[in-house]
Amino acid sequence: MLSMTAFVRQEMNRLHRVFERAVNDLSPDEWHFIPQNYNNSIAFALWHATRTEDNIVRFVLQERRPTVWMEQGYHEKLGLHPTQQGTGMAAEDARRFRINDVEVFMAYGRAAWASTDEYLSNPDEAAFERTVTVRPLGEMPAARALAQVVMTHSFQHLGEIDALRTMMGKPSAIG
């Protein structure tokens, strides 16, 4: 039987592969497609999920380790806010959100995802029992931050991305 962290690592790696598959056939315009009466694009959903993962895994779970976003200067490379990740962003701002270079963004995503995999490859299991603070959610066990805020949350955004793909007439990336 897999340990919790081995299971989460396996599922996070699967998630990352599907994220890649979900965007690898899209044009930059398709990354930013927003249907009528909807707020988020694929670009926003993928950026938000990846930034959240980077923040939780590195800054929260590894006790204030700089995120890949900051450490490797991706906010500067992409001309985006250094600390913003989309949580609590106004709907109008989410609709206006743009990633100007999807290749540079994907380099960031792969680096953040590799960092998560590295962390989960040999974790201190006892560390998952400690209490951490996840803003704006508050205090919770570290295991919950990883399983709910990172993994479950990211899979929800994958579903959103897949729905947007199908609205554009693209096949599901999840299947």
| Residue 25 DSSP one-character state | T
Predicted pLDDT of residue 168 = 97
pLDDT of 146 higher than 80? yes
Predicted pLDDT of residue 124 = 84
Q: What is the pTM of this model?
A: 0.95
Distance CA 82, CA 93 (A): 16
Half-sphere exposure of 130 (CA within 13 A, CB side): 11
Predicted pLDDT of residue 167 = 96
pLDDT of 5 higher than 90? no
Each residue of 18-33: pLDDT tens digit?
999 999 999 999 999 9
Each residue of 73-131: pLDDT tens digit?
999 999 999 999 999 999 999 999 999 999 999 999 999 999 999 999 998 888 889 99
Beta bridge partners of 133: 139
**C-alpha dist (Å) from residue 121 to 9, 46, 71:** 7, 23, 21
Distance CA 88, CA 54 (A): 17
What is the assigned CATH class of domain 4-167?
mainly alpha
52, 87 contact by CB (below 8 A):
yes
Each residue of 47-74: pLDDT tens digit?
999 999 999 999 999 999 999 999 999 9
Query: Between 153-167 and 42-54, two packed helices, what is the crossing angle to 10 degrees?
Result: 170
| Residue 65 DSSP one-character state | P
- Return mean pLDDT, the chain: 95
Q: Where are the domains of the chain?
A: 4-167
pLDDT of 145 higher than 90? yes
**Phi-psi label, residue 124: left if phi above 0, alpha if psi -120 to 50, beta otherwise:** beta
Predicted pLDDT of residue 4 = 82
Smallest Cα–Cα separation from 147: which of 5, 29, 31? Answer: 5
